[in-house]
Amino acid sequence: MRVTGLVIFVMVIFSACSIFKVSGGEEVVESDCTERATVKSFSNVPGCQFLIELEDGTKLQSIEGLRGYGPVSDGAVVMIDYEVQEGTRSLCRETDLVVSISCMDVLTFPEEECADKTTVFNRNWFRNAKTFSNATALRYHHTDSVNYFSFEGDRPMLFNCYGKMECTRLNYDPGSRCDVLLNTMETARIIWAENK
């Protein structure tokens, strides 16, 4: 029992694989996962790290941790699917359910100010997305309202300047907003490339 509790305590950390579309000013999320949630830091509570809070306030702790889903960020918005692990308890007193996550897509790395081609490198969402995508290059496109960053690598992704993933190069409909944005990014200036 102590070993299980210790394993649960030690393991908790995050992914990205969703597409965003805007329809009539409303955000519509396409994901294989079904429940929207927010990653929250409970590191100030003994025995806790990051928990996943569902929209109804239920706090989940992943039995296997979140490492396979990329870096964890407090406030990251995700879509998830999970199975409750009956008979398993957590050392974290804030945990409502101990779960095994079967699907997790990262939707947003939270940020308050729009990043530009110089400030983006100091943003946590940039570092998280760069690591997760295994980026080898970064393209930048400036518009009057929002800047866009395209990560080229093993998991190509397009983020806006607030750290919100707009789409991936792997999943989008031809003629969709993602298709238009990604075509625009093909000719956008490369502002960073990995030296090999």
Mean pLDDT in residue range 25-36:
66
Exposed, middle or buried by CB within 10 Å (0-12, 13-18, 19+), for 94? middle
30 neighbors 21 (Cβ within 8 angstroms)? yes
Distance of CA 27 to the CA centre of its chain: 16
- Asked if residue 100 and residue 24 are part of one domain, the reply reads yes
- Asked if residue 87 and residue 58 are part of one domain, the reply reads yes
Which domain range does residue 158 map to? 120-193
* Mean pLDDT over each residue of the chain, to the nearest integer: 78
Cα–Cα dist 65/10, whole Å? 8
pLDDT tens track for 70-85 = 666 778 888 899 999 9
Looking at per-residue pLDDT, the higher value among 45 and 194 belongs to 194
The pLDDT of residue 6: 33
- Asked if residue 151 and residue 94 are part of one domain, the reply reads no
- The DSSP secondary structure of 77-122, one letter per residue, reads EEEEEEEE-TT---S-TT-SEEEEEEEEEEEE---SS---TTTGGG
Mean pLDDT in residue range 15-34:
46
- Asked if residue 104 and residue 11 are part of one domain, the reply reads yes
Q: What is the pTM of this model?
A: 0.48
- Asked if residue 130 and residue 59 are part of one domain, the reply reads no
- Asked if residue 104 and residue 131 are part of one domain, the reply reads no
**Integer-rounded Cα radius of gyration of the chain:** 18
pLDDT tens track for 120-158 = 998 878 888 888 888 999 999 998 888 999 999 888 889
pLDDT tens track for 153-171 = 888 889 888 888 888 766 6
Query: What's the Cα-to-Cα distance from 186 to each of 13, 16, 67, 115, rounded to whole Å?
Result: 33, 21, 31, 20
Residue with tokens 């393209």: 139
Is residue 114, in this structure, part of any structural domain at all?
no
Is pLDDT of 184 > 80? yes
Phi, psi (deg, nearest 5) at residue 165: -70, 125
Residues 6+ apart with CB under 8 A from 4: 88, 89
- Asked if residue 94 and residue 10 are part of one domain, the reply reads yes
Cα–Cα dist 69/183, whole Å? 27
Residue 41 corresponds to which amino acid? Answer: S
Domain count along the chain: 2
